[in-house]
Every structure is written in C-alpha cells, then in structure tokens.
C-alpha cells in the first residue's frame, strides 16, 4: 500500500492514545454511508454516519447513528436537552464543522459540539465512522469514539 496520509481525526486519536484502524476506499464525492460501506467492503451494520442538528435554542448538536437508520428527531431532541431539533442546512455544514458532506466526523470539528452516539453502537466491539474526509473512515471501539468526541449514548433512531 502507498503512503497513507493521516487525517486530523487520526492525529487526535493518536494524541489521546486511542486505538483505531484507518480505512481508505476509492471515492471522491459524496455517497451515503450505506454505499460507502458497500464500496469499501465494510459491514453496513458496523458503519455509522454523523449528522449535525440545530436545536430550538440555536445550538448545534451531533448525532452518530447507523448508516442505514433514520434519526428520531424527538428522541434526539430529548438526548440533546432541546425542545426540538432539525437537520442543519447543508450550506452551513462546513462553516459549523470544518468538514464537507460525506466526510463529517464527530471527532475534530472546528468547535466541540455536544455529541450523542446511538446506543446500538454499544452492541459492537468496534464501529466505522468518517475519519474527516471523503474516502477515509476510522474503525474503533464505541467507547473510544465516545471518549474522543466527549459523547454520550442514547437511543436516537427510528425503530
């Protein structure tokens, strides 16, 4: 394999002595989490996507949910301590997070945002999340992700 370029996410994980595996796959434009899992040969059920929501208070929140799932906005609002939440408009994503659509990681955003990981992640030894750029993911323990992103766990998906 050629020289691997580390992402800021990888540097943050190393600085915090958190074990991870960097996974690269050929992709240079946005595709959803399910398709990125299929493209890279990862199990879809272990692949999680990062969503950014805005609460009624105006504060932004991050939710990490299974790639094939849909966020339950009412449950997410409760987990975030908001009366209601909605998806952050795409045009604001890079300004708020420093990441582009398809490369948004819960680790290493421009400003640390309150983060909730769906409780389903705790059933797995490790999960995949974006490493901060399109075509790169990190594979790490859910508890390690929670530590790195200063996240909590809650049931925040539609069942």
Q: How far apart are the C-alpha atoms of 44 and 62, rounded to whole Å?
A: 20
Tell me how far apart the alpha carbons of residues 87 and 21 are, in angstroms, rounded to a whole number.
29
User: What's the rounded mean pLDDT across residues 81-108?
Assistant: 95
Instruction: Determine contact, residues 104/60, Cβ cutoff 8 Å.
Output: no
Q: How far is CA 1 from the centre of its chain?
A: 26
Model's pTM, two decimal places? 0.92
6 vs 12, more confident? 12
- Looking at residue 2, its pLDDT comes to 41
Provide the pLDDT for residue 37.
77
DSSP H or E segment with residue 34: helix 33-40
pLDDT tens digits for range 115-149: 999 999 999 999 999 999 888 899 999 999 999 99
d(CA 93, CA 124): 29
Give the separation between CA 32 and CA 97, rounded to whole angstroms.
18
Q: CATH number for the 19-154 domain, one of 3.40.50.1970, 3.20.20.70, 3.90.960.10, 3.30.1370.60? A: 3.90.960.10
For 33-72, the pLDDT digits (tens) are: 776 777 777 888 999 999 999 999 999 999 999 999 999 9
**Residue ranges per domain, the chain?**
19-154
Structural tokens at position 69: 């799932």
Q: CB atoms < 10 A from the CB of 4, how many?
A: 10
pLDDT of residue 31 exceeding 70: no
User: Given this model, what pLDDT does residue 3 score?
Assistant: 46
Q: Residue 117 pairs with which residues in a beta bridge?
A: 64, 153
* Residues facing residue 54 across a β-bridge: 60, 86
What pLDDT is stored for residue 4 in this prediction? Answer: 55
Residues 9 and 108: beta-carbon distance below 8 Å: yes
Q: Provide the pLDDT confidence category of residue 158 given band limits of 50, 70 and 90.
A: very high
In this prediction, residue 41 carries a pLDDT of 78
How far is residue 125's CA from residue 30's CA, in Å, rounded to a whole number? Answer: 27
């Amino acid at each position: 394999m050629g020289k691997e370029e580390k992402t800021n996410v990888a540097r943050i994980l190393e600085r915090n002595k958190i074990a991870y595996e960097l996974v690269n796959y050929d992709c240079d434009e946005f595709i959803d989490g399910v398709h990125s899992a299929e493209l890279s040969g990862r199990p879809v059920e272990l692949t999680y996507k990062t969503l950014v929501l805005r609460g009624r208070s105006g504060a932004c929140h991050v939710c990490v949910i299974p790639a094939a799932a849909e966020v339950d906005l009412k449950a997410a609002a409760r987990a975030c301590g908001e009366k209601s939440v909605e998806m952050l408009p795409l045009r604001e994503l890079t300004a708020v997070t420093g990441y582009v659509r398809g490369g948004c990681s819960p680790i290493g955003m421009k400003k640390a945002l309150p983060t909730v990981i769906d409780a389903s992640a705790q059933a797995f030894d490790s999960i995949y999340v974006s490493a901060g750029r399109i075509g790169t993911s990190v594979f790490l323990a859910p508890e390690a992700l929670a530590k790195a992103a200063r996240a909590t766990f809650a049931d925040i998906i539609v069942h």
